[in-house]
Structure 1
Amino acid sequence: MNLEKEAAVEAALNDLTALLKENEVIIDYQRVQKRVAESDTLKQLEDEIKEAQKAAVQYAHYGKPEAEKAALKEADRLTKEFDQHPLVTAYRDQLVEANDLLQHLTHMIQKEVNDTLEADDFETDKSE
């Protein structure tokens, strides 16, 4: 690829990146992502889940099946609470929307590149 084409591709990529940063779906995703990362409640739930899981492993190691079962039940309860938290559900919804947008863009770019390559191959074949 010559330098002129590389510069054009770089410019187009920069334009696309700038447009994505201004896209409402991406902005909403980043906003919710930040709220999740800053949530003390969610951090606490994560810590409690990890502790319950560690306890279950320790109980299993020391041959205490009832205590292991109780710890696993607590880990499951905490995980369910985490999964149903409004911030987590909002984050997952926004993630799906952002992913759909990016997948659509990727598909469009792939199609355009393939069409261009096929057209170039056709032109090369005609000139030979």
Structure 2
Amino acid sequence: MTVSKEEIMKKATELRDALQQTEEVSFYRLAEERINANSKVAAKVSKIKSLQKEAVNLEHYQKIEAMKQTESQIDNVRADIDSLPIVTEFRRAQEDANDLLQSITTEITTKVTTELEKEN
């Protein structure tokens, strides 16, 4: 039995649609929406971007000590972001969704490889 590329792509689309209905992906999307709508996170991300521009300018003018202090400030703001419960929840949801995708990818790879080896 020969299967066309179009049939395989149709199955891939069906798999994508099914994945979007999983608890892991649904939870990830919800967490992503919440983090994108969070003003505290947005303000801290904006602060990081501002500090990064400042660090680049300081490096350009070879003000190394001031650049190091600015990089330290960036690290502190990142740590603040990382400590927010909403960010922790987002990262957990992201890991769960990635784990699901990885397990499916591994399963597909294993089955395809096994079938190809049987044919040879």
- TM-score, normalisation: structure 2: 0.81
1:10 aligns with 2:29: no
Give, in whole Å, the separation in 1 of the partners of 2:32 and 2:91. 9
Residue segments in structure 1 that go unaligned for 5+ positions in a row: 122-128
1:99 aligns with 2:98: yes
The 4+ residue runs of structure 1 with deviation greater than 6 A are none
Residue identity matched to 1:41: K
Residue segments in structure 2 that go unaligned for 5+ positions in a row: none
- TM-superposed CA distance for 1:14, in Å, is 2.9
Q: For CA contacts below 8 A with separation 6 or more, give which structure has more relative contact order.
A: 2
Give, in whole Å, the separation in 2 of the partners of 1:72 and 1:6. 50
1:78 aligns with 2:53: no
- TM-superposed CA distance for 1:115, in Å, is 1.6
Identity of aligned residues (%): 26
Residue 63 of structure 1: aligned partner: 63
Residue identity matched to 1:105: I
- TM-superposed CA distance for 1:5, in Å, is 4.0
Give, in whole Å, the separation in 1 of the partners of 2:11 and 2:56. 52
- Superposed CA RMSD in Å reads 2.3
1:19 aligns with 2:18: yes
- TM-score, normalisation: structure 1: 0.76
More moved, 37-46 vs 27-36: 37-46
